[in-house]
Amino acid sequence: MTILTADLVPSSRRFDRRWSIPVVLVAWWLVWRFGFGTHNLPNGGPTFIQDWFLRIRNAADAGRDSSPLFIYFFNPIAKTTGSVISSMMSLTTNLGWTGITGIASAISLWVAGWRHGLLTAVGFISFGVLGLEAESMQTLVQIIVAVFLSLLIGIPLGVWAGVSNGFSRVVTPVLDIMQILPTFAYLPLITLFFLIGPASGTIATMIYAIPPAIRLTAAGIREVSTATVEASESLGATKWQRLTDVQLPMAKRTIVLGVNQTMMAALSMITIAALIAAPGLGASVISALIKLDVGAAFNAGLAIVCMAIVFDRVTTAASVRTERASRAGGAASQRTRLLRYGAGIGLIALGVILPGINRSLATFPDRWVHGTRNPVNSVANWTQLHWYGATSWLTTTVTHWLIDPLQSLLSNTPWPVVVLGLALLAYFVGGLRPAIVTAGCLMGAILMGLWPSSMTTLASVLIGALFTMIIGIGFGVWLGRSRMADQLIRPILDAGQVMPPFVYLVPCLALFGATRFTGIVAALVYASPAVIKIVAEGIRSVPANTTESAISSGSNSWQTIVKVQLPMARGMLLVALNQGIIFVLAMVVVGGLVGAGGLGFDVVNGFAQSVFAGTGLAAGLAIVFLGIMLDRITQSAGRSRRTTD
């Protein structure tokens, strides 16, 4: 009886999946075809939410110097943060490039070893070689402050989540929402309370960087063996002693990995924060974007990549050394430790003393500056000149055959049909819960008064996600099956993941002009590295004996991929789809700066003109709704497939 039931249920589900979705799509198309342009909602309708946000913004502006909430809470936070940043920037100026390089190299030497100390020295010198020493130090200071505050808050909360199931259940949904939100969505709310400037940029970066610290700290605490914890309890250890003497030491490597991810998130966000007047490398990229200067944008992006590589490699090596030291009982030769610390102290002393002896040494020598701006601009100009015909044709073709029809389907179908259609698709893909979430999020976009903008953004996201998955599966399968390909391409993917989103916009804008397609191309480039890596990991996770059995049965490479490896890796493929959609959404919104329109443009317009501040805040919230909707649908699809299997 159980066998019959198990056989029947998947058959019914297969019928639903096979026929219900096409039926919904066909019915939707028919309504659009014959009800074109009826019951549509223009931007600004309804307006009461935007008007309410505008009143809140005006009230906040009027009460910054009189409201107790601002006087005793928001203003002191902004002022203190700004003062710390200003003081640290002055310190970096006084220390000069030699002092900062010596201190950073010494710290890397102490926590990660000789090789990474040298890597740090090379990385910090590269900032000067690129002609961006001052901008790099501004970015570095903001990251240090943001990461310090993130860890100060995130690690204790992570410990709490690791030892308390109740708190973990409360904080996990909040962290989920924080991590799926596009970075643009943070900015309107931050400026509402803290205005624009370095302090606001640092606070926005801190909020964005906190979730990895909490998650990985909690994971490290929970990974500690239950037997080990019980053994400490049997010896009479208190909860505090168990935490400080057992759980935290054994979770040290995972916590250090949390520091790594917090740093990378901070570096990603601080460049976006240039939109709210955060200084540094992000501001250089924004300036290049305004001038359409591909070389300057690439130059600043290269400095950000160098900084990201240093942060990533040093913290990763530190986590590995931490684990090795714990396994070895912390035993390292006294001579080695003294040599490392002595060399580090020597580097600091040398770097700090040189500017004191000769003040001119505090500034990076002009004769050593060799930026990449001019060579890259030469290549960009040649490419634009010779590829214009191809890029123009591609832009026109994709826009005519894909972007316009999908955007028309979403924007010009009566809005109740769109809500019902997307909710039904979510139901057939993932079940009742994602259908309810989808309907709720779409109604939220309607209440924000930004229905056409939301549909423009949604159309771009869906097309970008489609192209991203095609490229991600193609390259991911190749990397998963070829170790040599993985070794050759992975460094490029690593660099692509740490490159700030704005950097992608400039060459795409030069090649494709200010169009919706430009935002999609930039999103494709931005999201592909993560998707390729996840797909490759899924292919590698397929048991080798299963693949060998298929080959021995006469399957060729194509049959092995299509009939064995991809089906067995479909769980990871759905994870790749989820992450791809979230990355594409983040970048498509940024693409509002270069003609993509949609919610991204509304957010930026809210920054630029105070009269549209309410629209900007509403657009930020609409982005949140789209992100939650798409995340829940793709996650539920993965769970549904596993349940069916």
Residue 46: is the preceding peptide bond cis (ω within 30°)? yes
DSSP state of 364: P
Reduced 3-state DSSP string for 218-282: HHHHHHCCHHHHHHHHHCCCCHHHHHHHHHHHHCHHHHHHHHHHHHHHHHHHHHHHHHHCCCCHH
Q: Of the spans 170-174, 191-195, 403-407, 640-644, which averages the highest pLDDT?
A: 403-407
Q: How far apart are CA 243 and CA 377, in angstroms?
A: 56
pTM listed for this prediction: 0.81
Say what percent of the chain tops pLDDT 90.
Answer: 31
Confidence tier at 478 by pLDDT (50, 70, 90): very high
Selection from 286, 298, 57 nearest residue 190 by Cα: 57
CB 260 within 8 A of CB 311: yes
**Per-residue confidence band for 325, with pLDDT thresholds at 50, 70 and 90:** low
Under a CB-based contact definition with an 8 Å cutoff, are residues 80 and 202 in contact?
A: no
Count how many residues are written for the chain. 645
> What span, in angstroms and rounded, lies between the C-alpha atoms of 309 and 558?
36
Q: What is the mean pLDDT of the chain?
A: 85
Measured distance CA(577)–CA(583) in Å, rounded? 10
Q: Is the pLDDT of residue 588 over 60?
A: yes
Are the beta carbons of 39 and 415 closer than 8 angstroms? yes
Q: What is the pLDDT of residues 606-616, one digit of tens each?
A: 877 778 888 88
In this prediction, residue 403 carries a pLDDT of: 92
- Average pLDDT (623-639) is 85
Distance between CA atoms of 477 and 499, rounded to whole angstroms? 24
**pLDDT in the model for residue 578:** 86
The dihedral sign for the CA sequence 17, 19, 23, 26: positive
Percent helix, strand, coil in the chain, to 5, is 85, 0, 15
Nearest CA among 260, 262, 280 for reference residue 271: 280
In whole angstroms, give the CA distance from residue 434 to residue 29. Answer: 22
Cβ count within 10 A of residue 275: 24
- Whether the Cβ atoms of residue 625 and residue 442 lie closer than 8 Å to each other: yes
Q: What is the pLDDT of residue 2?
A: 37
Q: Which CATH superfamily is domain 53-364 in?
A: MetI-like (1.10.3720.10)
Q: How far apart are CA 304 and CA 300, in angstroms?
A: 6
Torsion-angle region of residue 125: left (phi > 0), alpha (psi -120 to 50) or beta? alpha
The yes-or-no verdict on residue 558 having pLDDT over 70 is yes
| Alpha carbon separation from 108 to 251, 318, 497 (Å, rounded) | 21, 8, 23
> Is a pLDDT exceeding 70 seen at residue 516?
yes
pLDDT band of 8, cuts 50, 70, 90 = very low
User: What dotted CATH number matches 13-42+374-644?
Assistant: 1.10.3720.10
* Domain boundaries defined on the chain: 13-42+374-644, 53-364
Say how many Å lie between the first and final Cα of the chain, rounded: 19
Q: What is the pLDDT of residues 169-209, one digit of tens each?
A: 898 888 877 877 777 777 888 888 888 889 999 999 998 88
Same fold yes or no, 13-42+374-644 and 53-364: yes
Encoded amino acid at 240, one letter: W
pLDDT of residue 639: 63
